Structures are given as structure tokens and as C-alpha cells.
Amino acid sequence: MPDGLFIFFAALTLGAALLLVLSRNAVTSAMGMILALVGVAADFFLLDAYFLGVLQVLVYAGAVMVLFLFIIMLLDTEDATGAYPWKTAALGLATFFLLAAGVLWLFHWSGAVSPVKAGATPPELSVNPAEFVTAAKAFGRLLYTKYLLPLEIAGFLLLVALVGVVSLSKDNPETNA
Amino acid sequence: MENTSLAHHLILAGLLFVLGLTGVLMRRNLLVVYMCLELMLAAATLALVAFSRFNRTMDGAVLVFFVITVAAAEVAVGLALIVALFRKRGTVQSDALTTLRD
């Protein structure tokens, strides 16, 4: 049996994701998304990736989801009511169960993942993972040596996105007639 | 952490990804479709962190850092596109946007 905390956060994540997919109200969906992302961040913590867990909560569950909620409120879209059309529901159910069975087979029964037996423990870390500072330091060292070029490109990408969003959301009289 | 194997984390990530994909296929509200896309990205990062941890290397975690960066930029641009679409067409329901099909 896996760790109790893992079971708890996995159930929380999957339940919240289910809420995101099934809720007819966009705001409820966004709340489910926030909860699911917090669950993913908790799993990052369980995997000793403390820095990424904090980053996930700050960037995703914080900034990105606030942006989503802001746009949902701004657009004030009408909610669809009533049941799903049966075609949509059948497509969704078939996709979910087929692929979920595939995932379970691939990772659990096929033996493709080597430490597949339950109860296997991960190898010890070479640095002490309990120190958050250490993790951030290790991150910084890698980012500014081995991954310097991708880091610069990511920064440039953010600049491009910034300029693009400004030009997209500017009121353009001749295209906006 | 004592008793979780790599397979457990991969199953969680896989199920999360499948849920996101189901949402993308089922939902008609573009904003919700977009959130489901983000969920698929989060599932992929979860798998990356799990692999990185169990192989005792930092590289997967650094890749997740870049994925989060790109996702943030992508969300900003995508939401701006959706807002521009709403201004022009007055709806974000994908089955109402069939100009190219008709």
C-alpha cells in the first residue's frame, strides 16, 4: 500500500479534476482547477521537489488561475444547462475509460516501469532535500550553467508573449468594426 | 514518501492527463477547454518530476521549470485571443463558432 498522504492528495487531485471537467459552471470549474493544481503541488512536495511545489502554487494556482477567473468574470459567459448531449457523453466516457485502462495497464501490469512492485522506495538524494535553500541553490546552479541558453530563450519568450498580448488586446478600430 | 513507487506517481499523472483530454473533447466552453489543456500540462510535469526524483537527477525538475514558464506565457496569449474572439463574436462556445465550416 502506498503512503497515506499520497493516497489523500491523489484522491484530492483526481476529484478536483473531475469537478473541473464535469461542472457546468465555469467558475466552479476554475475552483476545481485550483484545487487540482494544489494537489499536484502537494505531490511535488512528496517527491522532494519543494522548490517546484512552491513555484506551482505561486505561478499556477496563484497568478494563472487568478487570470482565468478574471477573464471568466469579464466575459460573463452563459452556462449551458441540462444534461450533456448523449453523443458528447458517450465520447467522453469512452475516451476516459479506454485511456484510463491503458494507463493502468501500461504502468501497473505491463511491467514497463522497472520498480513496478508496490512498496519500492525511491533512492536517497545526494543532497539533503529537507533544506529548501539547498534545492533553490541547486536549481540556480543548473539554470545558469547547463541550461543557460534555454533560460535566455524562456525570458525572450515571456517578452514576446508580453508584447503579443498588449497588441492583441489593443482596440483596433478597423478590425473591430 | 516511504511507500510510493514510481508507478504510483505515473498512474496519477496518466489519469490526470486522461481527465484533461476527456475535458478537451467533451466541453464546449473555450475557457474550460483551455483549463483542461493546462491540466494536461500539469500532469506531464508531474510525470517529469517523478522520473527526475526516481533517477536522482535534477534535469527533469529544471525542465518542469521551463514548462511552467512556457505555460504561463501561453495562458496569457491564449486568454487574450479568447477575449479578442469574444469581442468580435460575442460567444466563447465552440459549437457557435462555425464560420469556417458553413
Domain ranges of chain B: 6-93
H helix intervals, B27-58: 30-54
Q: Residue ranges of chain A with pLDDT lower than 50?
A: 115-120, 126-127, 130, 177
Q: What is the pLDDT of residue A135?
A: 73
Q: What is the pLDDT of residue B6?
A: 81
Q: Do A44 and B46 touch (CB under 8 A)?
A: yes
Contact list, A117 vs chain B (CB under 8 Å):
5
Q: Are A40 and A13 in contact (CB under 8 A)?
A: yes
Q: Do A36 and B42 touch (CB under 8 A)?
A: yes
CA distances from B82 to A22, A80, A153, B96 (A): 21, 18, 26, 14
**Three-class DSSP category at A47:** coil
Nearest to A99 among B21, B31, B75 (CB): B21
CA distances from B22 to A16, A82, B18, B36 (A): 14, 19, 6, 8
Q: What is the pLDDT of residue B2?
A: 54
What's the fold here for domain B6-93? Helix Hairpins (1.10.287)
Q: Give CA–CA dist A87/A124, Å, rounded.
A: 49
Q: Is A47 on the interface with B (CB under 8 A)?
A: yes
Nearest to B15 among A26, A48, A100 (CB): A100
pLDDT digits (tens, 9 = 90+) for A12-40: 999 999 999 988 888 999 999 999 999 99
Q: Is A156 on the interface with B (CB under 8 A)?
A: no
Contact list, A26 vs chain B (CB under 8 Å):
29, 31-32
